[in-house]
Structure 1
Amino acid sequence: MQYPLKTFSIAFRYYDEEKMVPLLSSIMFHNDLRKFEYKGTEEIFNKIQWPISYHIEHLTVFCDCRWRTVCSILSHLRSLRTLALKGANKYESDKFIDVQPNITQSTCLTSLSLETYTNITMNDIESLLLLLPKLTHLRLIGQDILTDPSLFDGCRWENFIKTKLTLLNRFEFWFTRYVVDNVDCTTVESLIATFRTSFWLETKHWCVKCDHISGKYRQYFYLYSIPISLDIFQYPNRYSEILHSILNTTDDNSTIIVETHALSLDLSKTVNERIQHQISPRMNYWFQSVVELTLEIEKNWPANLAEYLSTILNLSSLQTIHLDFKQECQFVVSLDNEVDTLFKHARDLISCKISCHNSERMKLITFNAICLKLPRRIKYLQTDITYVDDAKILLEQIEHLSHVTFQNSDAYGFAIKIIQQTPRIERDLAYEIECYAWIDDYPRANLVHFWLGKSINKQLNIRTNNKRMKRVR
């Protein structure tokens, strides 16, 4: 490229390591590059060659990377201002303390977001944060059960921040631990007590909440900051119940702000009754910045769903919606009207996904009530489908779609039939056929990807997940 490249983002599932590494390394040498987002494998990321005079300022990494990869980033990228690591994990073989002397303090990094799926300790976190004295924003999300009680100790956090992170003004976290019966006397009151000092309430004005949760098999404590900052949030969780909840402030009736881009809403009996009878929830939530919404629908689609959703999130900001019908569903009013109302509220919606879990009745209902009546702004559709004739009708009638994914039990055969039977399409359009089997409510899929349109003369490109490519006229 001969033009300035300031931002580069890449995500991939299939790759050729010999080609990918030099390609990414060459991109890194663009002098104007300031922001890099990477979603792939740790093996490729660790082999990227970084230029000596490196000027990247913002880095986001989505991969299962080890603690030593974090050290490598800090040692090579000295101009970083923001760093987000989604999946940085510390294993027993990682010796962070051994490599720490080889890393100088980062003088530019002001924002760190760290999500981990392993059982880290307070010592691990402190060893890392000692290298980042100029942090003003810290986000720590523990997706695993944490056993170090020091992580839940507000006094230790207070002392460390006072002495080592003096510039920190925004602290977001989410920690989880087991409720251990007959071993200690830990309660939500004892956990929240250390966060009720003048440092937390008056100096920093940081709000902290602690929940006692009864899960499917065990009980947990959730300790988290308000607003809640999670990439994906499920509400309510069908497998858990809040037994007791308490804030470090006295305002227990305040609305809980949740900053998340993806919300999964379970339309179970509880939510259904709340919509129908206007029952006040135990805690009020406002879901901020949601662009992806998943609706898990059981036996009933509640009437006035769109009106209820507008009370907990900004529907006009939605870009993607997933209607996940777990079983055959009954409708108080017609699905056509309900979906039409929902789409009218979601003015920026461009993508729609429908899952029917092998219910032929739901496939027929959703095909007629949703797929054939999509607004023109919808460009991406993913849906369960059984018959090629239905796919042909959809492709011929809904001309505004640019990318379609059909979920079918015979991906390759379904794709061949479509290419043979569909009339010539006077626009370029990408298709995917997903071959899947539902196992424990989760699809196990193979993918066939192909393109149709006037510029490619009905050429079929088929990509499967075994990394091989077939081309068929």
Structure 2
Amino acid sequence: MFKSITQSHLIELTIGILTFNEYQTILQYCPYLRVLVIDDCWINDTDQNSTIKSYRQLISLTLKFTNRSITQLEYLLLLTPSLTELKLINSPLTPNSLINGSYWEIFIKTKLSSLIKFQFVFYQLVLRTYECNGDVELFIIPFRTSFWLEEKQWFVNCQSIKSSHTIQLYSIPFSINSYDYNFDLGNILLSTSIKKLNHSFIMDHVRCLSLNLTEIKTKQILKKNIKRDDFLFSKVIELNISVHGEWPIDSFYFISILVDLLKLQKLSFRSDFDQSTIDNLIILVNQAFNIHSLSLLPLNMDEQYNTTVTNLCSIVSLHVKHLTIKIEKLDDMKIVIKKLKHLLSISFNFPSDRKINSHEMIDWLINNGQNFTYLEYEYFLHFWFGLQTLT
């Protein structure tokens, strides 16, 4: 299907999951392609037994969420020996470990000799909890050779995440734009970098941060166990927070040292929404006055809020222009639209066990002189509003 773009001089391409044959077809029929970003490439035993042809036009390749084994990736990469940039991110749940510094060193030396930039985030599930540095050191030792530290100057961090029984090894700086924050006093973090790098530099590429404040509270590490210079995600513009139960003490302080509140543009919040949480969330939204998109959803979409829709509306400041909220009945939508006339769009989510009569809602909006367009899909009704306001 790519034959038609042979003469299009396509230089960059971003696409989802490919088969190995499709990957080869792209390389064959896109002779000017320099940059390719894919989610993953499916490779089977038959593919690995086929004849390999090299395509030297590609200089940058990214696999954003691969489940391939290290030998499958080797076969894939043999097609593009001229790569100067390579980014590999494997799934946290994959059974295939890519944490093998010795293997990558030999392969890059012999097959990817032009490689200048190698970014990666590798995960490996482990069967036991690592209690000491020596356990984690076994994973990072192969990345301490002169090839990594002197010739290429590619430094890595290696972390054992106790709660998920996972080893995470990544190049510095962290190369994914989203990050699930997991701070546990039992975690072990080692680095091949000789000089101490501050957390802000390591996480410089992160734009979306997710954190569970309840987990952090139960581990008793708020405020007293962290330092502002060590745990700052300075470039984050999107923040996803979940809280189960009461708003944890000192959470506002904790959030303020993780991110620059003035840079936040999007906030997604999932909670039981008791009054304490609502009061603190109002403060947070008002402090982060550049937020234009706000999502307020319960932890379980099939459960109700522990508050009224009117109380939820009190969280939505005037600087917020786009809202996502769950509703139980038609009257809830009317309340939101009446109280928050400044919004440019609203996404209403409703439980899977019921259906909202969208026609009745649309008629109500028309009768009230509202200028709008809408999209309805399964358990979701989205409205975009014009300049007119309700009378």
1:103-182 to 2 correspondence within 5 Å? Answer: 104-107=54-57, 109-121=58-70, 123-143=71-91, 145=93, 151-179=98-126
1:276-329 deviations in whole A, cap 9, x for unaligned?
Answer: x4322799444354333211112222466555334222333333211111x353
- Which of 260, 268, 271 aligns to 1:322? It is 268
For structure 1, the 5+ residue unaligned runs are 1-46, 435-444, 456-473
Tell me: CA distance 1:417–1:48, structure 2 relative to 1, closer, same or farther (3 Å): farther
1:214 deviates by: 3.2
The answer to whether 1:52 aligns with 2:6 is yes
Q: 1:180: Cα distance to partner?
A: 5.2
- Number of equivalent positions: 376
Shift of 1:333: 8.6
Counting only pairs closer than 5 Å after superposition, residues 46-85 of structure 1 correspond to structure 2 as 47=1, 50-61=4-15, 63-85=16-38
Conserved 8 A contact 1:414-1:433: no
Please list, as runs of the form range in 1=range in 2, the aligned pairs for 1:9-408 lying within 5 A after superposition: 47=1, 50-61=4-15, 63-86=16-39, 88-92=40-44, 95-98=47-50, 100-101=52-53, 104-107=54-57, 109-121=58-70, 123-143=71-91, 145=93, 151-179=98-126, 187-215=135-163, 219-236=165-182, 242-250=186-194, 254-255=198-199, 257-258=202-203, 259-271=205-217, 273-275=220-222, 277-280=223-226, 284-287=230-233, 289-302=235-248, 305-325=251-271, 327-329=272-274, 331=276, 334-335=279-280, 337-344=282-289, 347=290, 349-356=291-298, 357=300, 358-364=303-309, 366-370=311-315, 373-376=316-319, 378-408=320-350
What CA distance in whole angstroms lies between the structure 1 residues aligned with 2:335 and 2:341? 11
Q: Deviations over 1:320-366 (max 9, x none)?
A: 211111x353528934641443432xx2x321111024333234365
Aligned equivalents of 1:338, 1:453: Cα separation in 2? 29
Superposition RMSD in Å: 3.5
SS at structure 2 position matched to 1:311: helix
Higher relative contact order (CA 8 A, sep 6+): 2
* Equivalent residues of 2:347, 2:383 under 8 A apart: no
Cα offset, 1:404, TM superposition: 1.2
State the alpha-carbon separation in 1 of the partners of residues 281 and 76 from structure 2. 54
1:134-183 deviation line (CA, Å, top 9, x unaligned): 3222110110555666x4232232233233333323211122223357xx
Bigger proportion of residues as strand: 1
Q: Secondary structure at the match of 2:306?
A: helix
Give the conservation status (yes or no) of the 8 Å contact 1:405–1:433. Answer: no
Percentage identity across paired residues of the two chains: 26
Any idea what SS the aligned residue of 1:173 has?
A: strand
Q: Give unpaired runs (5+ residues) of structure 2.
A: 129-133
Alpha-carbon distance between aligned partners in 1 of 2:375 and 2:173, rounded to the nearest angstrom: 38
Deviation at 1:390, TM superposition (A): 3.5
Whole-Å separation in 1 of the counterparts to 2:234 and 2:22: 32
Q: Following TM superposition, by how much is the alpha carbon of 1:229 offset from its aligned partner in structure 2, in angstroms?
A: 1.8
